[in-house]
Amino acid sequence: MGKTVEINPTTRHEGHTKLVLKVDDDGIVEKGNYLSVTPVRGFEKFLVGKPAEFAPIAVSRFCGICPIAHATSAVEAIEDACGIIPPKDGLLLRELTGLGNKMHSHPLHEFLVAPDFVPENDRVEYIKRIQQMRKTGQYIVDTIGGEAIHAPNIKVGGMAKNITPSAASKIFYKCKEFEKLAKEQVEYLVPIFENRMLVDGTEIPEKLGYHDFGYLATDATYGNRENIDQSKVIEYTPYDVYEKDVAVQACTTIPRYNGRLMEVGPRARFARFHDFKEKGAMAIHIARAYENVVHVKRAMEIIEELNVDGITRAKDPILGDGEKLGLGVHEAARGHNTHQASIDEKGRIKYYNAIVATTWNIPLIGKAVEGTHYKFAEHVVRAYDPCVSCATHMISLDYDNNVVDEKYFK
Amino acid sequence: MPGYLNKEILVLGCGNILFGDDGFGYHVINRLNELREEYPILNSEKIQLIDAGTGASHFILSLIDNETPLKKIVIADIIEYGLKPGELKRLTVKDLPNLSKYRVDAHDMPLAIMLREINDDFGIEIVVVGCQQKNVTAPDILLELSDDVSNSIEDAVKMIIEELN
């Protein structure tokens, strides 16, 4: 007979989501749907007509977690639309700010999964390590970005200012400390994920989260629009993909690359740039743990490469032709994050679109829970570290083109 | 630690500028920044003003620990106390709602619990300069404050400066 199991809300990630699962008599998921139920905000519409410089300020408020990732994607999109090329030192500092954001975000996720995987006896030391890593990530964002949360130094054309030699050496020193902690974290966490053992002694099925979809990543640490053919990205509506009763509840689009669902995030970056072949939910955790080390190594490279006397911002006017669709790609903590913008001759936004990392992962998470017992589904969700507020950007219409009743979003 | 945690007093403007009166905290921080010449205390090395938006719990409060030298946190935010729109209320930790521990969604943690814990665990004084909201539009976007809330910003700023002295 089978039945439908709804897990609502899913927990210990960012944003409001639920799982709607069709399971067989043994509880095995036959059809998995993972849905954002976060209210729609309509950023892409209200940005139209606003000055281009307002976009990074506004999209920093998509949600409270990834302000740097969104501001970076926004300025990159506007620069592409306006033909502005930021100076090298500006780009290095911008990348370093983004690394700071990821160096905070990945350990935060490792904190959120601690109740699943970290025995009580180890937890104090584990969390101390995480807190120290998060502080360093935030130190970098605060120092280079100019403010702790909504970094005002991220500007169209580059970065508002360079850093002092003293700040550069402090960041380097803190990165050395972070590197040591990140390696300790790898040594601690990877065996736990390889053993697939929950803290209560439950063994996670070996193939939990396996899928045969693709991986999308444009750069190991920053983002590179040259590494993606955006014309192959098509966003489908929930009605194109889900059954009607599920589609009316969904408020994200379903993007595909070359017709295929794609995973984004740490494992996708590792598959693309580090020849990482592991599959399943635990492999995402493993890639994320290793990525902390990759991030800090790149941060130290940047400090060594940076000219603290260099120019950080191009002075070109922020004007477009109203036609060219600029593309900003940033490899955020949760993965490939794209913003697109066209800017008119007066410097105002004519069109704006964001396909954020979790938008890519949401439909794939639903598929990745299929084939195993539904009691493990939450562990697949959490492995992807979904951050949903920014992914939510469409309202479902019914067949008469009316907005579906608000109750479906709750 | 991040520079902002190495201070004695933090002033956090909380809320989202995109949702009408929820932008109160942001506008208060902006106004404080404009008044730096008039009130030299705002330039003190011991004080930091932060537009915390909706990220205070992640990026600030959850990073506070025994090593943090903070003595006081002043928060500017809207409140829903059934008062006249724009009315200001000074709240301390004993006035905050005693909610049960929240573990569901890392994105939406109520600040009250964290503030209470910070006070209990580290002895940091908590003061909220709350402004009775009139119009919070989430999820709809509105970049302007209501007149009632907007008219309270100057008084809120004065209350905060008193807290710093």
Give me the CATH number covering residue A143.
Answer: 1.10.645.10
pLDDT at residue A327 tops 80: yes
Average pLDDT over residues A127-153: 95
Residue A317: pLDDT band with limits 50, 70, 90 = very high
pLDDT score recorded for residue B104? 52
From the candidates B63, B111, B118, B137, which should be mutated to test the interface with A, based on the most A CB atoms within 10 A? B63
Residue A409: pLDDT band with limits 50, 70, 90 = very low
pLDDT score recorded for residue A304? 97
- Nearest one of A397, A409, A394 to A354, comparing CA atoms: A394
Query: Which residues are paired to B50 by β-bridges?
Result: B12
pLDDT score recorded for residue A396? 56
pLDDT score recorded for residue A40? 67
pLDDT score recorded for residue A277? 95
Digit-coded pLDDT (tens) for B67-122: 899 999 999 999 999 999 999 999 999 888 776 665 555 555 667 888 999 999 99
Average pLDDT over residues A64-93: 96
In chain B, residues with a C-beta closer than 8 Å to the C-beta of A389 are 107
Provide the residue range defining the domain that includes A90: 42-246+263-350
pTM of the model: 0.91
Which residue type, as a one-letter code, is found at position A122?
D
pLDDT at residue A406 tops 70: no
- Indicate yes or no: CB of B55 within 8 angstroms of CB of A67: yes
Average pLDDT over residues A5-26: 88
pLDDT at residue A72 tops 90: yes
pLDDT score recorded for residue A410? 39
Instruction: Evaluate whether residue A338 is within a structural domain.
Output: yes
ipTM associated with this complex: 0.84
- Indicate yes or no: CB of B53 within 8 angstroms of CB of A139: no
E strand map for A258-348:
262-263, 326-332, 335-343
Please state at what angle helix A88-112 crosses helix A120-145, rounded to 10 degrees.
160
Residue A39: pLDDT band with limits 50, 70, 90 = low
In chain B, residues with a C-beta closer than 8 Å to the C-beta of A40 are 139
In chain B, residues with a C-beta closer than 8 Å to the C-beta of A14 are 105-107
Which of A39, A148, A150 has its CB closest to that of B139?
A39
Digit-coded pLDDT (tens) for A159-180: 999 999 999 999 999 999 999 9
Instruction: Evaluate whether residue A174 is within a structural domain.
Output: yes
Residue A203 CA to residue A182 CA, distance in Å, equals: 26
pLDDT score recorded for residue A408? 45
In chain A, residues with a C-beta closer than 8 Å to the C-beta of B139 are 39-42
pLDDT score recorded for residue A386? 87
| Torsion on CA atoms B135, B137, B138, B142, rounded to nearest 10 | -120
Digit-coded pLDDT (tens) for A104-132: 999 999 999 999 999 999 999 999 999 99
Chain A positions contacting chain B at CB under 8 Å are 9, 11-16, 39-43, 46, 58, 60-61, 63-65, 67, 104, 108, 112, 131, 134-135, 138-139, 141-143, 147-150, 387-389
Which of B1, B58, B138 has its CB closest to that of A64?
B58
pLDDT at residue A186 tops 90: yes
pLDDT at residue A400 tops 90: no
B46-to-A147, A168, B123 alpha-carbon distances in Å: 16, 23, 17
pLDDT score recorded for residue A151? 93
Residue B130 CA to residue B149 CA, distance in Å, equals: 11
Instruction: Evaluate whether residue A377 is within a structural domain.
Output: no
Provide the CATH number for the domain around residue B112: 3.40.50.1450
User: How buried is residue A50: exposed, middle or buried, by Cβ count under 10 Å (0-12/13-18/19+)?
Assistant: middle
Joined together, the tokens standing for residue B45 give: 């090395």
Instruction: Evaluate whether residue A14 is within a structural domain.
Output: no
Instruction: Evaluate whether residue A164 is within a structural domain.
Output: yes
> Is the minimum CB–CB distance between B51 and chain A shorter than 8 Å?
yes
Residue A191: pLDDT band with limits 50, 70, 90 = very high
Residue A213: pLDDT band with limits 50, 70, 90 = very high
Tally of domains in chain A:
1
| Torsion on CA atoms B116, B122, B124, B127, rounded to nearest 10 | 0
Provide the residue range defining the domain that includes B102: 3-164
pLDDT score recorded for residue B58? 86
pLDDT score recorded for residue A407? 40
Average pLDDT over residues A322-336: 97
Shortest distance between the Cα of B83 and any Cα of chain A, in A, equals 27
In chain A, residues with a C-beta closer than 8 Å to the C-beta of B3 are 139, 142-143
Digit-coded pLDDT (tens) for B24-66: 999 999 999 999 999 999 999 999 999 999 889 889 999 999 9
pLDDT score recorded for residue A394? 56
Tally of domains in chain B:
1
pLDDT at residue A289 tops 80: yes
A265-to-A53, A57, A106, A272, A357 alpha-carbon distances in Å: 28, 24, 11, 11, 7
B32-to-A149, A297, A366, A378, B156 alpha-carbon distances in Å: 18, 38, 47, 44, 10
| CB of A149 closer than 8 Å to CB of B51 | yes
Residue B60 CA to residue B63 CA, distance in Å, equals: 5
Residue A398: pLDDT band with limits 50, 70, 90 = low
The percent of residues above 90 in pLDDT, for chain A, comes to: 81
> Is the minimum CB–CB distance between B60 and chain A shorter than 8 Å?
yes
> Is the minimum CB–CB distance between B102 and chain A shorter than 8 Å?
no
Digit-coded pLDDT (tens) for B113-165: 889 999 999 999 999 999 999 999 877 778 899 999 999 999 999 999 999 98
- Per DSSP, the residues of B30-95 read HHHHHTTTT-GGGG-TTEEEEEEET-HHHHTGGG--TT----EEEEEEEE-SS--TT-EEEEEGGG
Residue A126 CA to residue A118 CA, distance in Å, equals: 8
In chain B, residues with a C-beta closer than 8 Å to the C-beta of A60 are 53
